[in-house]
Amino acid sequence: MTDISVERSSNRKAWLGLMAVLPLVLLVAMDGSILYLAMPRVTSAITPTADQALWILDIYGFVVGSLLITFGNIGDRFGRLKLIMVGAVVFGAGSLGAAYAQTPASLIGSRALMGLGGATLLPSGLAIVSALFSDPRLRARAIGMFAATFAAGFAIGPLIGGMLLRQYEWGVVFLINVPVVLGFLMIAPILLREVRSTTYGRIDLPSLVLSFAGILLFTYSLKNAAAYGLTATQFIAGIVGVLALALFLRRQARIEYPLLDLDLFRDRIFSIAILTGLLSLVVWSAAGFLSGIYLQSVLGFDVFTAALLMLPGAIVLTATCLGTAHIVERIGRKTALVATHLLISVGVFLLLFTGTEVGIAAFIASTMVAGIGYGLSFSLVAEIAVSAVPAERAGAAGSIAETSNELGNAVGISVLGSLAALSFRLLGPGVAGTLDQTLDQHGLASDTVVQAKEAFLTGLHVAVGTGGLLTLAVGIIAWLWLPRRLPE
């Protein structure tokens, strides 16, 4: 066999291996957003409280984001293929549990198990894909497809959920994961090879515990305060969470192998890129979640129609992801990064023109304008973050960029979602903790329904207005603070 034939055979197997990994990447991203349109159905079926509803949505993202860097280190030590196989089994088991959950607690637990599996899939999948291609040009194309698939998963999650819910019960949004996982487990040992790093440090267990406990306790405090007001338990949990996060950051600066390399944040380009990745997902997740409720519970559209109304924004977002390289060539990296913030800000500000009777035009315009900004962010952040640091630290930079996306997805629902929940609790009729729970009550007076919808809409406006102001502020800081030309 000639060298050319060997090379072609190797490339063919590499592309087949990529095709085996991409469906898992799509699932991990989709499951961060697939519940946005399904939550009214979930709320009616298992009646979660206001804070339980937020936990159902974002426990997945918190677990994934908190463990990405840790599982990156574990994969380096024990093998990426082994880890991704175990992670796929855990992800599938969590999906089955979520599909048949009968209580809010069981659904939250199953979503957490899915997050545990999902945290192994992203770093291991990217490392395996990179190792499949010896040609740097082909490797770059493969990594670009990996990133675009991840972004597309976030975008189409609500659409897939909406289309499935047209004919099936809400559990189907998780059940679709199972055949994909089974297919991967069958073909992965054939198409993929084991990947290990020759240099790795030990995994610092105290750092893992401090970061995870700090994030969860602080988030619990925010959610509990928004849903029920200030309590002693909520206050103590918040204080303990803040202290745990402070101890985590202090420990990272002192240990030899930190989970979070704080020295990377000394570079202002890296810091702005990571902040962009975090903030864009904060706004995207909160706007997506609240808009799904707005379309169905305020305007009264069925879930399939709501999914169709989200389609223009999803198309724009995905097209922007694929075209980001050409956009950057024309306007430069700095301008593209600043434009990310401005477009997201303008897009979510358009949601301020929505009302309880009309708002479709404002919603569609919002998703399309902001979709360009989200698309730029999804494709640009990791590239800028990695190029801003020395080559030997590129892996750590890439892991932090992925983590910022996942945590942003969860933090947006927690912080901005809790802000909306607080507004509803203060301004709503006091019948129940959420709009959907209120509307599920029998015998409501018409003025009570109107008050509930107006209270939810006010909460939506407060949440997206806050997110828009944050992105606008960071966009201005990026323009003033970053050098004219960013490194390639």
What is the pLDDT at residue 227? 67
What is the pLDDT at residue 6? 42
The structural domains of the chain, with segments of one domain joined by +, span 1-197, 204-258, 261-488
Has domain 1-197 been given CATH number 1.20.1250.20? Answer: yes
Assigned token pair, 447: 């003025």
Higher pLDDT, 162 or 454: 454
Continuous segment of H or E residues that includes residue 434: none
What is the pLDDT at residue 476? 94
Higher pLDDT, 290 or 133: 290
Q: Which fold has domain 261-488?
A: Growth Hormone; Chain: A; (1.20.1250)
Stretch 332-358: mean pLDDT: 93
For the stretch 26-70, pLDDT in tens is: 887 787 677 777 788 888 888 888 778 878 887 887 787 677 767
Q: How far apart are CA 56 and CA 101, in angstroms?
A: 11
**Is-same-fold flag (1-197; 261-488)?**
yes
For the stretch 315-341, pLDDT in tens is: 888 888 778 878 888 888 888 889 999
Asked whether residue 232 carries a pLDDT value surpassing 90, the answer given is no
The residue type of 87 is G
What is the pLDDT at residue 106? 94
Asked whether residue 253 carries a pLDDT value surpassing 70, the answer given is yes
For the stretch 382-392, pLDDT in tens is: 777 767 767 55
**Range list of H helices, 356-441:** 360-387, 394-411, 417-427, 435-439
Q: How far apart are CA 426 and CA 419, in angstroms?
A: 11
Identify whether the C-beta of residue 122 lies closer than 8 Å to the C-beta of residue 68.
Answer: yes
For the stretch 260-275, pLDDT in tens is: 778 888 888 888 888 9
Stretch 448-477: mean pLDDT: 94
* 203: DSSP letter: -
Higher pLDDT, 253 or 62: 253
Closest CA to 334 of 115, 488, 106, 230: 488
Closest CA to 68 of 376, 410, 322: 410
Assigned token pair, 52: 């339980």
Distances (CA, A) of 356 to 425, 429, 451: 18, 16, 10
Closest CA to 291 of 315, 309, 314: 309
Q: How far apart are CA 220 and CA 242, in angstroms?
A: 12
What is the pLDDT at residue 197? 57
